[in-house]
Amino acid sequence: MSDVRQPVLEPGLAGARVLVTGGSRGIGRAICRRFAAAGATVVTTYRVDDDAARRLRGELGESCHVLRADVTRRADLDALMERVGDLLGGLDVLVNNVGVDGHAPLAALDTDEWDRVLDTNLTGAFDVTRAAAPLLVDGASVVNIGASVVIRGLPGKAHYCASKAGLTGMGRSLAKELGGRAIRVNTVAPGVVETEPGAGLPPVLYERLTASTALGRLADPDDVACVVTYLAGPAASYVTGATVRVDGGI
């Protein structure tokens, strides 16, 4: 095995119609690239960063439509689903990837900050799923991007962990609700992902985080994207209501 981090492309996704929220950068971008490489047609969204959206369009060309839509604005989501309907006619895969981070100890965690994180990570994902539901075909797959920190908890992350734990619970319930139509709903729970290698993290923290993993490295966005495309594809046709940790064994 030359490179264990370059698994084969997920088979069975050629021609799949995919919506990924927040695909202009980071993990979402890796997910869009992997679906496009597998032959899927992708619609993805962003909120403000037009430059990143332009770069992704340049990178993926006609296999990817990059649209502006804020998941916290229901009017944006209605307009988005209308465009998705026009462009794709239906959805085989929905990936709820949008999420914002937050750090605030309890004494500093005011309602505005709580709402900012919950409105985006949990209510936003719910609103996207509800708006997309009429487009989801029988046998479709929904993948929500949670976070493995939910299992352990972390000081200053009460709002972030609450939002991702909520998302995980929402996914399990929807898996039961939609299973009759063979629609599967799963959660991918990343650990620490290096979305911009070397940027942002002080060296001491970087060392500590790296050492906390069993594999001795942080995740690459593609480590997460591989698991998303696996769960979306036919190889995972009996996997639903599951949470898959992609955290290097933290």
Contact set with ligand NDP (CB under 6 A): 22, 24-28, 45-49, 52, 70-72, 97-100, 120, 124, 145, 147, 190, 192-193, 195
Instruction: Kindly state the tokens that stand for 116.
Output: 């900012």
Element (H, E) at 30: helix 26-37
Q: Report in angstroms how near the CB of residue 241 gets to ligand NDP at its nearest.
A: 19
Phi, psi angle pair for 209, to nearest 5°: -65, -45
Q: Report in angstroms how near the CB of residue 219 gets to ligand NDP at its nearest.
A: 7
| Residue 105 near residue 31, CB atoms below 8 Å | no
| Residue 168 near residue 242, CB atoms below 8 Å | no
Residue 238 is a catalytic residue: no
Instruction: Give the residue from 58, 163, 80, 166 showing the smallest Cα distance to 114.
Output: 163
* Residue whose tokens read 């050492």: 211
Nearer to ligand NDP (CB atom), residue 72 or residue 137: 72
Nearer to ligand NDP (CB atom), residue 40 or residue 71: 71
The distance in angstroms from the start CA to the end CA of the chain is 24
Query: 51: how many CB neighbours lie within 10 A of its CB?
Result: 10
- Cα angle value 77/79/81 (rounded, 5°): 70
| Residue 146 near residue 246, CB atoms below 8 Å | no
Nearer to ligand NDP (CB atom), residue 79 or residue 137: 79
Nearer to ligand NDP (CB atom), residue 14 or residue 87: 87
Nearer to ligand NDP (CB atom), residue 112 or residue 138: 112
Q: Report in angstroms how near the CB of residue 25 gets to ligand NDP at its nearest.
A: 5
Instruction: Kindly state the tokens that stand for 62.
Output: 């006609």
* Residue whose tokens read 């209605």: 78
Nearer to ligand NDP (CB atom), residue 193 or residue 244: 193
Among the options 46, 160, 230, 238, which is catalytic? 160
The Cα 147–Cα 100 span in angstroms is: 11
Q: Report in angstroms how near the CB of residue 218 gets to ligand NDP at its nearest.
A: 8
Q: Report in angstroms how near the CB of residue 124 gets to ligand NDP at its nearest.
A: 6
Residues linked to residue 17 through DSSP beta bridges, in sequence order: 41
Q: Report in angstroms how near the CB of residue 29 gets to ligand NDP at its nearest.
A: 7
Residues marked as catalytic: 160
